[in-house]
Structure 1
């Protein structure tokens, strides 16, 4: 018996050591993801916790978390087997923020000033419902089949599409939502938020407030090899800075999103093992650094908060949009943008029309060409905070297409010569975009 107990104790010890090395460090990220997702989904989109747990949090490891929502306090908590509890608070105007034990929830904070004047025009330029339009050159049977085939049948969890919207010549020609979602549902764009952040630099450049070809004005880089990194390099993910972007492990990206107090500084503090414009490396840290650079263009934090909405989001009627902030008050420009499907489409329409929004030039026409031009080290996959198809990544889709893209299959795709914008929002990286997009394009003669 004593021998058995010794073996049992040894087995327990080995298990605890293994658990401590392989799993325990992940608990912070697991409960952090779950708390943040629960708070955002519930308070931004009114989703019941059960819907969040069965959808948003139904991914490996994260689904191990136990979650609770406090309606009165407007926060969510999550833990894994009662270990490593994390908390995310909701603040109107700023969305949900994952906080640590040092965060002072009683400290006053500023919120963006929004302008949501109703415009008596049909979608997309106003608040009225779109006018029904039938185009003789569209094969609606093929179009509707492409849309319908993109959704799971009852009981399935393969395609996991939540919303699809197809806009041709500024008119909605197809729109469909999954159960529990509709045209008013706010959906997380994840890295499609990067395209919003990048767009702000086009606006700043048009306003004469920044020259993207000059070195980034970062004091910490003045006396080392990072001094030559330009904003242009950062926009192209071509700065040479060190970064690891993986979503299924502990790495730079996950530690930043679920642990960092000031996300704008995480990439800033990394060394540069490569020369600028010589090594493409996708980095959410770079986009949050860009958010910090935008902050430095303004004298006050209030001006910074207001700019994102007054210069872009509210200007083009994306009134449902909310960009969430980190603990330091910076917009998480890499990942935490929420909007309805129709409002996400407006970002695509702005680029389809080369920066012109119903007669007003939001950014110069050349900016649309700039973001859709491949950076020379990405094999035709990336421009400036937009993904590209110029290298034929989607072989049956026109090479001209460029798109905002996010984790789990978020996409706003722009087809300039087709006068077409396609939006897909869902929960699966395995969604067949090549088949879906090509079928939609082929439905327009």
Structure 2
């Protein structure tokens, strides 16, 4: 009996050691992801805790978390098996922020000043419904079937598409939403936010306020081999800086998003492991570093908060959009922008029209070519904070197509040669969703 007891105790100890090595450290990331997700989905997108847990936090180990919402404090808390409690707080204008025990929730804070002008123009340039337009060269039966095929049939949970929107020549020619979602539903773009951040540098450049080809204005780099890294290198993700971004394990990206107080410094502190412009490496830390660089272009924090909306977001009528901040007050430009499907499409339309929005040029037309030209170290798949199809990643889509991409299959496709913008938002990425088939069928329904 004692022999078996020793064996059982040994096995339990081995399990606890294995659990501690492989899982316990991850619990804080799990509860952090869950708490942040609940706070954002509830207070920004007005969804219930039950709905969030069933349709957003129902994957992998994230479903282990237990969550609570405090309406009066506008906070959400999450734990995993009663361990590693994390809290996120929602603040109007700033979205939800994952906080630590040192964060002072009573401290006054600044919020962006929004200019949400209204007019009677139809979508996309105004608040009125889009005009019904029938194009003789569009096979609507084929188009509608392509869009319908992107959604799960009754009782299925495979494709998990929430919305698809197709715009041709500035007109909506197809629009569909999953049950429980509609044109007013606010959805997280994840890394599509990177394209917002990058665009702001194009706007600053047109205004003559910034030169992306000069060394990045970072004092901490001036006395080592990082001093020659340019903002252009950062925008192309080929700075040569060390960074690990793999979401199936603890890495630099998850540590930044779920631990760091000031996310603009997460990449800044990393050493250079390659010379600039010789090695492409996708990095959310780089984009948040760019957000920090943007912040330093303004005299006050208020000006920085306002600029993102006044120069771009509200300028093109993306009035539903909210970009969330970290604990230090930086916009999390890598990951945390929320907007309706229609508003996400407006970013694509701005690029389709090479920076011109209803007669006003927000960035130089050459900027659209700049972001859609392959980085020489990316094998044709990446430009400047936009993804490309130059190498035929989607073999049945036009090679001039480029896109804003986000985790779990958030996409805004821009196809200049076909005058198309296609938006798909959902909860499955390329590994589980046939984007090539969707693009092939939609493009094929519009005759040239």
Instruction: Name the SS of the counterpart of 1:172 in structure 2.
Output: strand
Instruction: Name the SS of the counterpart of 1:373 in structure 2.
Output: coil
Q: Report the equivalent of 1:363.
A: 363
Q: Report the equivalent of 1:217.
A: 217
* C-alpha distance in 2 between matches for 1:19 and 1:318: 45
Q: Report the equivalent of 2:190.
A: 190
How does 1:57-206 map onto structure 2 within 5 Å? Answer: 57-206=57-206
Deviations 1:264-303 (A, max 9, x none): 0000000011000000000000000000000010010000
TM-score w.r.t. structure 2 length?
A: 0.99
Q: Report the equivalent of 2:433.
A: 431
* C-alpha distance in 1 between matches for 2:4 and 2:442: 66
Runs of 5+ unmatched residues, structure 1: none
* C-alpha distance in 2 between matches for 1:126 and 1:30: 41
* C-alpha distance in 1 between matches for 2:153 and 2:65: 28
Instruction: Name the SS of the counterpart of 2:190 in structure 1.
Output: coil
Instruction: Name the SS of the counterpart of 1:45 in structure 2.
Output: coil
Deviations 1:184-235 (A, max 9, x none): 0100000000000000000000011100000001011001010000000000
Please report how far the alpha carbon of residue 4 of structure 1 lies from its aligned counterpart in structure 2 after TM superposition. 2.8
Please report how far the alpha carbon of residue 432 of structure 1 lies from its aligned counterpart in structure 2 after TM superposition. 0.6
How does 1:21-60 map onto structure 2 within 5 Å? Answer: 21-60=21-60
Q: Report the equivalent of 1:444.
A: 446
How does 1:397-412 map onto structure 2 within 5 Å? Answer: 397-412=397-412
How does 1:334-349 map onto structure 2 within 5 Å? Answer: 334-349=334-349
Please report how far the alpha carbon of residue 385 of structure 1 lies from its aligned counterpart in structure 2 after TM superposition. 0.2
Please report how far the alpha carbon of residue 3 of structure 1 lies from its aligned counterpart in structure 2 after TM superposition. 2.7
Please report how far the alpha carbon of residue 73 of structure 1 lies from its aligned counterpart in structure 2 after TM superposition. 1.0
Q: Report the aligned-residue RMSD.
A: 0.6
Q: Report the equivalent of 1:315.
A: 315
Please report how far the alpha carbon of residue 247 of structure 1 lies from its aligned counterpart in structure 2 after TM superposition. 1.0
Runs of 5+ unmatched residues, structure 2: none
Q: Report the equivalent of 1:237.
A: 237
Deviations 1:117-163 (A, max 9, x none): 11110000000111111110000011000000000011111111000
Please report how far the alpha carbon of residue 71 of structure 1 lies from its aligned counterpart in structure 2 after TM superposition. 1.0
TM-score w.r.t. structure 1 length?
A: 0.99
* C-alpha distance in 1 between matches for 2:118 and 2:80: 45
Please report how far the alpha carbon of residue 325 of structure 1 lies from its aligned counterpart in structure 2 after TM superposition. 0.3
* C-alpha distance in 1 between matches for 2:234 and 2:22: 34
